[in-house]
Amino acid sequence: MKMEQEAKEYTLSVLTEDKPGLLNRLTIIFSRRKINISSLNVSSSEVAGVSRYTLVVTETKEHLEKVVKQIRKLVDVLGAFVYDEDQIFYQEIALYKVAASAFEQNGMIEKLVRNNGARIIALDKDHIIIEKTGTKHETHELYLALEPFGILEFVRSGRVAISKSKRKTEAFIKELESSRSNKLSIKDF
């Protein structure tokens, strides 16, 4: 009898050639399998011409391993990996816009900013902009603390993550080129 795995949050890292249209092809794989992407970030990597997609999804590891196999079949994908939270370092950035009048209330906002490791990045006559980096939980805690003062706008970035492995992306790509296969595992590095 096969035990059902429990769905939990995982981070996927996908290395690709920097080509247009790839984001659409990646997201189609998730939407066809009815997997919601809760966070998505695309950036350049340390290797010229190579982009890194960082996706956060809640699913079973078994199901995600199948998704990763399908992602690896895409022509411009160099590698795709699934990480548990303890296998990566990650951060998000959040911006909060609060009315300037709230700033004048007994220095409470300034105290909240300082106590939460955030910083004020803009002070306008009508509003202030606060920046906080950290986990989703940490940025949400500051949101809850600022909520009584009236948040005018709020935005949080997607997760930015880097693996704890000693693998270098450049070494991975060289090995990939010499193997003529995109089936290398993160465990190989």
**In whole angstroms, what is the distance from residue 48 CA to residue 34 CA?**
33
User: Is the domain of 17 the same as that of 79?
Assistant: yes
User: Is the domain of 151 the same as that of 97?
Assistant: yes
User: Is the domain of 56 the same as that of 115?
Assistant: no
Q: How many domains does the chain have?
A: 2
User: Is the domain of 106 the same as that of 173?
Assistant: no
3 inside domain: no
pLDDT score, position 86: 93
152 inside domain: yes
Read off the pTM.
Answer: 0.80
CATH number of the domain residue 24 falls in: 3.30.70.260
134 inside domain: yes
pLDDT score, position 187: 43
User: Is the domain of 21 the same as that of 72?
Assistant: yes
User: Is the domain of 72 the same as that of 17?
Assistant: yes
3-state SS, the chain, equals CCCCCCCEEEEEEEEEECCCCHHHHHHHHHHHCCCCEEEEEEEECCCCCEEEEEEEEEECHHHHHHHHHHHHCCCCEEEEEEECHHHEEEEEEEEEEEEHHHHCCCCHHHHHHHHCCCEEEEECCCEEEEEEEECHHHHHHHHHHHHHHCEEEEEECCCEEEECCCCCHHHHHHHHHHHCCCCCCHHHC
1 inside domain: no
pLDDT score, position 131: 98
pLDDT score, position 121: 96
User: Is the domain of 78 the same as that of 106?
Assistant: no
Average pLDDT for consecutive 10-residue bins of the chain (189 residues)?
A: 79 93 94 95 91 96 94 92 93 96 82 94 94 96 95 95 80 68 45
Domain that holds residue 152: 91-158
30 inside domain: yes
